[in-house]
């Protein structure tokens, strides 16, 4: 049995003992450590336990392995352990990099702690990683992508004299304003960079073009597209992908299809993303049969469908239980083509089976997913737990309770509403003992509701 399979199958409390009892200890190369940590992405406590064991046995830990476990701890919102690892890095002859701090800042922002992310940025120098313009741009980008563009703009004004902004800086801010649907603010950023003699890049134009579509300004989007060409900016595959997606999702399928077909005539070959945009539009706004035809054309012309392609089609096939067998057929096809299904792929199928009341088939998908070494994530658990609570049956509440225990052991926190439904369901069906056990489990998850009492 491969070491990563052994680790996955071993209960967390027995992991270290199992590793120590191995007759022949594996050669923990940096590559094997990284591979194993990646496989444990959705089982954070086990990943951290393994990493701690390897650290104590003086294995060759690399910056990449530290970044991985720091990211896992950040996902679990265990920032105390995260910073202890940052402090431990010099003992292994390592120092946190700009990527390390990018991970930390992104995890703080994801946890709703933007000020902590900015504080982490200010600590870079202390940890031997002097901040530069690239790191500053990364922080701004993280803030903007989380819809905190006003905070990013304040930070930009405060530090622009310390970190001289470049085109990338302005692109990040423009994108931030577009994300929150304030296109005119993005246009203001565009004008400011031009006034500072910074040349807008093709990315700048593509960002603003996408911004117009986000706010439903189709006429402005097309005028801007025409204007960018007049200024000598040659559209690329991303530009045309934006146009196809923008017009298609706005309901103008004819224009989207015309642009898609016209791309080839203009000498700008579409890429996989362009095909995916067309497939998405047809899956959501047009007949599914046309999406299938585009998928076939894509393969016939030598474009390899990727994970996004398959997920789009599987979602369309399984929507409202439209064609679950067809969706499962696509799952097998992607496996045959060497495209590994992700946890999101399985979540789409499990959610669809649950929505049509076929919970056991959803569990079949779950079991195969985990059998292939792909652990369920928070979304997977919440989908299954919600489905188990629908019929209010004793055995299903028991099954749900066991899933709650398992997910907490793997470092996931159930949604408050879901946790409450499971506990109340156990109480109503005469399982007070198990309900009490779950309430003890909640002490491991500080963010679970604490107002539930027996």
pLDDT score of 370 more than 50:
yes
| Residue 450: pLDDT band with limits 50, 70, 90 | very low
Tokens at 126, concatenated: 């202390």
Give DSSP secondary structure letters for 108-171.
HHHTT-HHHHHHHHHTTTTTT----HHHHHHHHHHHHHTT-HHHHHHHHHHHTTTS---HHHHH
Tokens at 150, concatenated: 């006003």
State the chain's mean pLDDT as an integer. 92
Tokens at 454, concatenated: 């027996």
- Is residue 262 within 8 Å of residue 290, measured between CB atoms? no
Question: Any idea how long the chain is?
Answer: 454
Task: State pTM to two decimals.
Answer: 0.88
Tens digit of pLDDT for each residue in 110-152?
Answer: 999 999 999 999 999 999 999 999 999 999 999 999 999 999 9
In the block, residue with structure tokens 């196809």: 244
Q: Please compute the mean of the pLDDT values over residues 91-108 and round it to a whole number.
A: 96
Which strand (E) or helix (H) includes residue 110?
Answer: helix 98-110
Q: What is the pLDDT of residue 23?
A: 67
pLDDT score of 103 more than 70:
yes
Q: What is the pLDDT of residue 444?
A: 63
């Amino acid at each position: 049995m491969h070491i990563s399979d052994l680790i996955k199958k071993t209960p967390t409390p027995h992991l270290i003992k199992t590793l120590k009892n191995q007759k022949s200890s594996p050669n923990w190369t940096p590559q094997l450590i990284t591979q194993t940590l990646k496989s444990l992405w959705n089982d954070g406590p086990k990943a951290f336990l393994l990493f701690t064991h390897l650290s104590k046995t003086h294995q060759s830990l690399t910056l990449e392995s530290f970044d991985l476990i720091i990211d896992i701890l950040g996902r679990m919102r265990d920032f105390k352990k995260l910073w202890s690892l940052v402090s431990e890095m010099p003992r292994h002859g390592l120092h946190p990099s700009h990527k390390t701090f990018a991970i930390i800042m992104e995890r703080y922002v994801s946890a709703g702690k933007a000020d902590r992310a900015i504080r982490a940025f200010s600590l870079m120098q202390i940890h031997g990683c002097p901040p530069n313009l690239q790191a500053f741009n990364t922080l701004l980008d993280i803030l903007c992508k989380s819809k905190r563009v006003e905070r990013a703009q304040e930070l930009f004004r405060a530090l622009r004299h310390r970190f001289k902004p470049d085109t990338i800086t302005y692109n990040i801010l423009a994108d931030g304003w577009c994300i929150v649907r304030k296109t005119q603010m993005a246009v203001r950023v565009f004008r400011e960079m031009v006034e500072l003699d910074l040349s807008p890049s093709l990315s700048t134009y593509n960002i603003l073009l996408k911004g117009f579509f986000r706010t439903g300004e189709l006429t402005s989007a097309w005028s801007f597209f025409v204007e960018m060409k007049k200024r000598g900016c040659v559209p690329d595959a991303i530009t045309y992908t934006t146009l196809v997606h923008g017009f298609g999702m706005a309901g103008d399928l004819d224009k989207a299809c015309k642009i898609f077909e016209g791309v080839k005539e203009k000498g700008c070959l579409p890429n996989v993303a362009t095909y995916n945009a067309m497939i998405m539009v047809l899956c959501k706004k047009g007949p599914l049969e046309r999406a299938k035809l585009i998928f076939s054309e894509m393969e016939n012309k030598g474009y390899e469908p990727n994970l996004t392609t398959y997920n789009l089609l599987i979602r369309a096939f399984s929507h409202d239980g439209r064609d679950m067998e067809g969706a499962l057929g696509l799952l097998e096809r992607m496996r045959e083509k060497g495209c590994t299904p992700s946890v999101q792929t399985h979540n789409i199928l499990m959610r669809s089976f649950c929505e049509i009341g076929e919970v056991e088939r959803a569990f079949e998908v779950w079991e195969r997913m985990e059998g292939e070494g792909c652990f369920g994530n928070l979304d997977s658990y919440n989908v299954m737990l919600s489905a188990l609570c629908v019929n209010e049956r004793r055995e299903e509440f028991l099954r749900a309770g066991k899933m709650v225990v398992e997910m907490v052991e793997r470092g996931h926190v159930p949604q408050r509403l879901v946790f409450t439904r499971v506990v109340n369901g156990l109480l109503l069906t005469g399982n007070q003992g198990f309900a009490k056990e779950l309430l003890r489990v909640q002490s491991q998850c500080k963010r679970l509701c604490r107002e539930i009492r027996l």
